[in-house]
A = this chain, B = another copy of it.
Amino acid sequence: MSILIKGGRVVTAESDYVADVYVEGEKIVAIGSNLPYTAERVIDASGKLVFPGGIDPHVHLDMPFMGTFSSDDYETGTRAAMHGGTTMVIDFILQTQGDTLRNALTTWQAKSRGKAIGDYSYHMAVTDFNDDVAKEVVEMITQEGITSFKTFMAYKGALMIDDGQMVQLMKVVKENGGLVTVHATNGDMIDSLIAKNQALGNRAPIYHYLSQPEVTEAEASGRFADMLHYTGCPGYIVHMTCEGALNAVRKATSRNQKVFVETCTQYLVLDASLYEQDFDGAKWVMSPPLREKKDQAALWSGINQGLVQVVGTDHCPFMWDQKKMGMDDFAKIPNGHPAIEHRMELLFSEGVNKGRITLNKFVEVSSTNAAKIFGMYPRKGVIAIGADADLVVFDPEKEHTISVDSHHMNVDYSAYEGWKLKGKTETVLLRGQVAIENEQCHLKAGSGQFIPRGKTSLTV
């Protein structure tokens, strides 16, 4: 199959020019002005943007959490992502404490195999570290193409490892060319604040927010950076929400250190005033919680300063009935919100259209940097000769409204209901196949492939 995308405005992390893009099979073969190719399929992209398929490196599909499962599985989740221009996701495998990484991998392979519509990879969450696990870490990197290891500084007794395990894990990961990623919040503090609020009879969703103050994230982010510096391991902080945490990373730079940082769309465009409503605030109960306007400003600025490299979603949707598990206790509200579908469009509309970031930066943080940091470059994240033809044709002028009625995620509310955006995904290619066209998904479950990953290609 060959496809010629004609006359679009090709936008990459670096460039921006009008050209044709010619695809053969799964790969991009040529880019040029009036390319002399005859293709089986021609897509007119004039007046449209053409950029690399988005990569969301932070999603939770079919994830067991708080006694239930996130409501999008690999099929519904990657399909919704595709609708929004995200052609690849990285999900999280959770090791069961006491069990092996291998068993966890097997479990997650079963969740994804034959189901994913978009491409995917896994981060391996190490929730229990010891000498045996250390050996498995090496195995994951060298044999399975899983090179990023997620850690939790929160959720003691379920997911958290302590700082001693952390530094030992970092040493192994460093020696083997991997990357340690982290949920950086002080779990002990949070647990104690939650318990106190519960004891006081504080039940509303806002207490979720009040139990995770900025300091819990700022502190843990600094601590993680300290441990990285001590071990020399490359690291990546997921879902950073606030100025305090960003300052912790900024401070680390003065010792010639670089820590990768991801924020998520919601932390850039929403704030904690949403918790001031009654139980409706449960829609945005996630960890860390939404923060303040000043934090949004710090994060946008951090993106332009190069301190924040990636914008993900931490997509982890729950049906409203699931959210209601916490009707009488904020601590029982399943954490997470639906976001996988509109990441690119929100970032475009709120970021590019409002002059906060350039078009190049938009591509960089929504796709290219994730590919580079997580070892999928030059296959993914770029419009380049030989790269996978994961391409988005995007209409920058098209206005639309987000709604539960029109979204494709398997969840019965929208976190952005009624938001009017300008700029919409029109056509999406996944490895040379038309995935989305006319708001329809043309790929079947199983079209998505597992993408083995290598070393990060950014210097720390």
- Listed in ascending order, the chain A residues whose CB lies under 8 Å from chain B are 10, 12-19, 22, 29-33, 35-37, 156, 162-168, 186, 188-193, 195-196, 213, 215, 218-219, 222-223, 226-227, 229-230, 247, 250-251, 253-254, 256-258, 297-298, 301, 304-307, 355-358, 360-361, 364, 368, 378, 382, 384-387, 457-460
Contacts and interface: CB of A to CB of B under 8 A. Distances in A.
Contact of A298 (B166, B213, B256): B256
A385 B247 contact: no
A156 B165 CA distance: 14
20 contacts: A16-B384, A19-B386, A30-B32, A30-B33, A33-B385, A36-B36, A162-B188, A163-B189, A164-B188, A164-B190, A165-B188, A186-B223, A189-B227, A219-B222, A222-B222, A250-B254, A253-B305, A306-B306, A357-B459, A361-B459
A378 B15 contact: yes
A321 to B, nearest CB: 31
Contacts of A223: 186, 219, 223
A355 B459 CA distance: 8
Given A14-B364, A33-B386, A219-B227, 6 more contacts: A18-B386, A30-B31, A163-B189, A164-B190, A164-B195, A355-B459
A192 B165 CA distance: 7
Copies of this subunit = 4
A32 B33 contact: no
A35 B33 CA distance: 12
Contacts of A186: 163, 223
A10 B385 contact: yes
Contact of A460 (B227, B250, B253, B304): B304
A22 B17 contact: no
A361 to B, nearest CB: 7
Contact of A378 (B16, B31, B189): B16
Nearest to A189: B163
A12 B14 contact: yes
B382 A15 contact: yes
Given A168-B196, A188-B163, A188-B164, A32 B307 contact: no
Contacts of A190: 164
A459 B358 contact: yes
A36 B355 CA distance: 40
B258 A385 contact: no
> Which 3 A-B pairs have CB atoms at the shortest separation, nearest pair first?
A306-B306, A30-B32, A164-B192
A226 B230 contact: no
Contacts of A193: 164, 167
Nearest to A13: B14
Given A167-B189, A223-B219, A14 B368 contact: yes
A12 B360 CA distance: 14
A384 B215 contact: no
Contacts of A166: 188-189
Nearest to A213: B230
A17 B384 contact: yes
A30 B460 CA distance: 33
A385 B163 contact: no
Contacts of A304: 258, 458-460
A298 B195 CA distance: 34
A306 B307 CA distance: 8
A356 B458 CA distance: 10
A218 B226 contact: yes
A67 to B, nearest CB: 22
A459 B356 contact: yes
Given A167-B189, A305-B258, A457 B31 contact: no
A45 to B, nearest CB: 13
A29 B37 CA distance: 14
Contacts of A229: 215
A48 B53 CA distance: 29
Given A215-B229, A226-B215, A226-B219, A17 B301 contact: no
A292 to B, nearest CB: 14
